[in-house]
């Protein structure tokens, strides 16, 4: 019995198949990307909820929220310590907290080098999954190796006013937040600066030693003169708008790598995604006792 001989694909048929596959891939890849972005946003929300729970546990234990950044005053055992560092015992990082206590006993005046292991230890909880840069330790100016965070405390309007919740030397109690904990920002998103000079979670100085841009940030932040790395940035005030990972000036306002806005932790422990259209109400949400009436868009 003779069977008919099969012929190979013609060039036209092959081109049609390639075109179909290309079209399917073009439809599939954006969907996969959107799924990944949605998953990163959900994980980021969970991070902030855990941080919020830790802040409330810290408050219950110590009678107030931690300082946004600890002033380097005479006799202070933890100068320049960031607020996230004080949460270590409350986020299952007791061994690192023990190392931190030892390091501050040995070298309290320079928390940016060994024996301070925390300055170069990335903490997954402190970085947004949408920003993979914060997962690693980075080399920055002065040959420092630093670990970063995407989550900055709300110091209020700007670093010269400190009318928020987490700021230079703050010890804010929940009863101090008379605007209502559900109407007051506690923490917001902002990726580290392109040169990794701003955004350290362990210890920092920030603008004018206020922590601004490093551990805390204002919603109408100002740019202090004198920093050679941001010399070309406008004086501000800065607004809640989308930023760019390569733009040093975007260091001075809240923003995220999520589409359309950023996640914010409120003082009551809730997390809300605010679109950039909410910029006009952020000043009212940032103050702890401003007495403003807030209507979110």
Strand partners, 75: none
d(CA 217, CA 210): 9
Q: What is the pLDDT of residues 75-114, one digit of tens each?
A: 999 999 999 999 999 999 999 999 999 999 999 999 999 9
The percent of residues in the chain predicted with pLDDT above 90, rounded, is: 78
Based on C-alpha coordinates, what's the Rg of the chain? 23
Q: What is the pLDDT of residues 273-295, one digit of tens each?
A: 999 999 999 999 999 998 887 76
Per-domain residue ranges of the chain: 15-286
d(CA 1, CA 196): 76
pTM of the model: 0.87
Q: What is the pLDDT of residues 31-82, one digit of tens each?
A: 545 556 667 778 999 999 999 999 999 999 999 999 999 999 999 999 999 9
Q: What is the pLDDT of residues 5-22, one digit of tens each?
A: 555 567 676 677 677 777
């Amino acid at each position: 019995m003779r069977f008919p001989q099969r012929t190979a694909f013609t060039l036209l048929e092959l081109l049609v198949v390639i075109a179909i596959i290309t079209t399917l891939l073009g439809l599939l890849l954006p969907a996969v990307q959107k799924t990944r972005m949605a998953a990163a946003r959900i994980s980021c929300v969970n991070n902030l909820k855990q941080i919020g729970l830790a802040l409330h546990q810290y408050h219950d234990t110590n009678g107030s929220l931690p300082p946004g950044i600890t002033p380097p005053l005479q006799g202070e055992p933890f100068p320049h310590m960031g607020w996230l560092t004080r949460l270590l015992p409350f986020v299952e990082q007791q061994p690192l907290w023990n190392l931190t206590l030892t390091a501050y006993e040995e070298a309290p005046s320079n928390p940016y080098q060994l024996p301070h292991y925390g300055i170069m230890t990335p903490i997954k909880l402190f970085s947004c999954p949408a920003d993979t840069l914060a997962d690693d330790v980075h080399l920055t100016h002065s040959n420092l190796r630093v670990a970063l965070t995407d989550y900055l405390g709300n110091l209020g309007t700007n670093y010269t006013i400190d009318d928020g919740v987490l700021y230079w030397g703050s010890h804010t109690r929940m009863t101090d937040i008379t605007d209502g904990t559900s109407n007051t920002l506690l923490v917001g998103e902002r990726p580290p600066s392109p040169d990794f000079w701003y955004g350290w979670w362990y210890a920092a100085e920030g603008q004018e030693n206020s922590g601004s841009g490093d551990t805390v940030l204002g919603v109408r932040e100002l740019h202090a003169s004198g920093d050679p790395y941001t010399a070309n940035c406008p004086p501000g005030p800065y607004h809640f708008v989308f930023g760019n990972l390569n733009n040093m000036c975007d260091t001075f306002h809240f923003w995220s790598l999520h589409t359309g806005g950023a996640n914010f932790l409120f003082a009551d422990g809730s997390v809300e995604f605010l679109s950039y259209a909410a910029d006009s109400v952020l000043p009212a949400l940032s103050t702890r006792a401003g007495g403003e009436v807030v209507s979110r868009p």
